[in-house]
Amino acid sequence: MNKGLLIVVSAPAGSGKDTILECAFKSCNNLNYSVSATTRAARPGEEEGVHYFFKTREEFARLIENNQLLEYTEYAGNLYGTPREYIPKMLEAGKNVVLKIEVEGAANIKKLFPDCVSVFILPPSFAELERRLRKRGTETEETIKKRVGIAKIEMSFVKNYDYVIINENLDDAVKDFIAIIEAEKLSTKHGIPVIG
């Protein structure tokens, strides 16, 4: 059986990555999220074990201590980390895994899984990014400013990614994302199929 594909997606907050991925998940079967652990408070509508595993700082420290994370980082004052066991287990079982992660974590995952496919999603402009963050209505003014500042730094990492999508229009961005996965599934770099 072919191994699954690991798709690492990074995008500044407000770039629309969650909506793009939600649509892509509806169109492709065999896409599975790796759910991260975080010390960030849950936003309205976010569920434990679906969007994140929500942890206290103490609980997160224990995950690190017990070597239960593949990587972790601090982002806008909160800790985020990728559970160690889920990804290799799913890939071995032929399942494709999508990991939504910031740039530092993505670089660490690329070192651990050189075969992974990395995708960066850009908003059409900084003004639009700020507008989308405000519209979300879940962040304080201070957090919005912090996230726009981080987004500017993050965008300098685009060149380290295999693919870049500009989210000007949702339908096109979803098509682009699915096209990347379809092409990667056919790429010889993930193995040569054996025919009878």
Q: Which of 5, 6, 7, 13 binds ligand 5GP (CB under 6 A)?
A: 13
Nearest CA to 71 out of 102, 41, 32, 94 is that of: 102
Determine contact, residues 38/44, Cβ cutoff 8 Å: no
Q: Is 100 an interacting residue with respect to ligand 5GP (CB under 6 A)?
A: yes
Residue of this chain nearest to ligand 5GP (CB atom): 105
Q: Is 16 an interacting residue with respect to ligand 5GP (CB under 6 A)?
A: no
> How big is the CA angle at 53 (ends 51 and 56), to the nearest 5 degrees?
135
Q: Is 73 an interacting residue with respect to ligand 5GP (CB under 6 A)?
A: yes
Task: Choose the binding region for ligand 5GP from 54-62, 95-103, 127-135, 180-188 (rule: CB under 6 A).
Answer: 95-103
How far is residue 48's CA from residue 54's CA, in Å, rounded to a whole number? 6
Beta strands in the chain, from DSSP E residues, in sequence order: 6-10, 31-33, 36-38, 52-54, 69-75, 78-83, 96-100, 117-122, 163-166
Q: How far is the CB of 12 from ligand 5GP (least distance, A)?
A: 7
Residue 65's H or E segment, with its range, is helix 57-65
How far is residue 79's CA from residue 72's CA, in Å, rounded to a whole number? 7
Q: Is 87 an interacting residue with respect to ligand 5GP (CB under 6 A)?
A: no
Q: Is 75 an interacting residue with respect to ligand 5GP (CB under 6 A)?
A: yes
Determine contact, residues 173/166, Cβ cutoff 8 Å: yes
The amino acid that residue 119 corresponds to is V
Q: How far is the CB of 92 from ligand 5GP (least distance, A)?
A: 20
Task: Choose the binding region for ligand 5GP from 58-66, 94-102, 111-119, 138-146 (rule: CB under 6 A).
Answer: 94-102
Q: Is 184 an interacting residue with respect to ligand 5GP (CB under 6 A)?
A: no
Task: Choose the binding region for ligand 5GP from 96-104, 129-137, 157-165, 184-192 (rule: CB under 6 A).
Answer: 96-104
Q: Which residues bind ligand 5GP (CB under 6 A)?
A: 13, 36, 40, 71, 73, 75, 80-82, 100-102, 104-105
